[in-house]
Chains A and B, each alone.
Chain A
């Protein structure tokens, strides 16, 4: 038998269709529970501090990845920060056009060494720049359910 038998008609190429039928269910985890509940209950963003490394983790982490200390010093960090980097999205995951385009940013939060990846709102894409000062816009308390989406988006800080 020839090792390669050429497929020269498309119908000769046979493919079996299938899927991987799973749904993933992720717990928030030990640190994640407290982090998200604080957003839900008090619209506040918490971090954890490693005293040895002098780092404040946001989102709050159970452990310091650098020195492997268990972190138990929790503190509130600001819900304001600066755009560290951003992108403007013109297509969704299914490759359909996004109209209007979405602005996704990594926002470094004041008083921490971390931040959140989130959408920017109340701003035109061409007005966004690295270093832009922004603040979190939380949903109403009754709408919050302990999710990162309890923050609607970050918007430019109004002075």
Chain B
């Protein structure tokens, strides 16, 4: 029955120009998809601490993990987390990318450098997503030590963007 026997499979491919030249009929619609997402309990506290220029995680005594971002329950043990744990704003690059396109596939001349940064004081080491800055793209390495660069207090709003980016730790 298949593939040998079917001469032509269904499906008609179109080109973008078929739309531009209106060779095919189509309609467009922009959904009014605007949201206000509640931060919730754990992330609410996380954002409040960011506003003060601090990172905070949570600890589960049962599995002995200290994790960030904070959460109210341990997803391994399925019980409430036990305590808030202040964490330093330094860490290690777990992995990174040099990204030359925006989400809508427009080209960037200077790459953005997203990275997973394992935060010091977590156990076992776990990270958060953020951007790297003050570093040449070609100089970024996995294992590189980095620290947060904060906005000045008056500009902080209680957002992950209160950290501008992480930059390499300067020795000495």
A and B: interacting chains: yes
Interface residues of A (CB under 8 A from B): 1, 3-5, 7, 12-28, 30, 32-33, 36-37, 93, 146-147
Q: Which 5 A-B pairs have the closest CB atoms?
A: A20-B33, A14-B39, A15-B36, A28-B25, A146-B25
- A147: B residues at CB distance < 8 A: 25, 27
Please name the residue on chain A nearest to B73 by beta carbon: A3
Is the C-beta of B124 less than 8 angstroms from some C-beta in chain A? Answer: no
- B24: A residues at CB distance < 8 A: 27-28, 33
- B26: A residues at CB distance < 8 A: 25-28
CA distance A147 to B29 in the complex (A): 13
A25 touches B34 (CB 8 A): no
Chain B, residues 28-64, CB within 8 Å of chain A (1/0): the string is 1111111111110101110110000000001000000
CA distance A17 to B48 in the complex (A): 17
Chain B, residues 93-110, CB within 8 Å of chain A (1/0): the string is 000000000001000000
- B153: A residues at CB distance < 8 A: none
B73 touches A1 (CB 8 A): no
CA distance A159 to B43 in the complex (A): 68
Please name the residue on chain B nearest to A7 by beta carbon: B44
Is the C-beta of B137 less than 8 angstroms from some C-beta in chain A? Answer: no
Please name the residue on chain A nearest to B34 by beta carbon: A19
B27 touches A4 (CB 8 A): no
CA distance A138 to B120 in the complex (A): 69
- A146: B residues at CB distance < 8 A: 25
Interface residues of B (CB under 8 A from A): 12, 14, 19, 24-39, 41, 43-45, 47-48, 58, 72-73, 80-84, 104, 158-159
- B27: A residues at CB distance < 8 A: 25-26, 28, 147
CA distance A24 to B19 in the complex (A): 13
**Partner among B36, B72, B158 whose Cβ is within 8 Å of the Cβ of A1:** B72
B25 touches A16 (CB 8 A): no
A15 touches B72 (CB 8 A): no
A32 touches B47 (CB 8 A): no
B25 touches A24 (CB 8 A): no
Please name the residue on chain B nearest to A149 by beta carbon: B27
- B34: A residues at CB distance < 8 A: 17-19
A1 touches B25 (CB 8 A): no
**Partner among A14, A25, A32, A33 whose Cβ is within 8 Å of the Cβ of B28:** A25
- B35: A residues at CB distance < 8 A: 17-20
CA distance A16 to B12 in the complex (A): 42
A20 touches B38 (CB 8 A): no
A5 touches B31 (CB 8 A): no
A1 touches B80 (CB 8 A): yes
**Chain A min CB distance to B74 (Å):** 11
B30 touches A27 (CB 8 A): no
A24 touches B31 (CB 8 A): yes
Q: Could you list 18 further interchain pairs (A-B, Cβ under 8 angstroms) beyond the known A14-B39, A32-B25? A: A1-B72, A1-B84, A13-B38, A13-B44, A14-B43, A15-B37, A15-B39, A16-B36, A16-B37, A17-B34, A17-B35, A17-B36, A18-B37, A19-B34, A23-B30, A24-B28, A25-B19, A33-B24
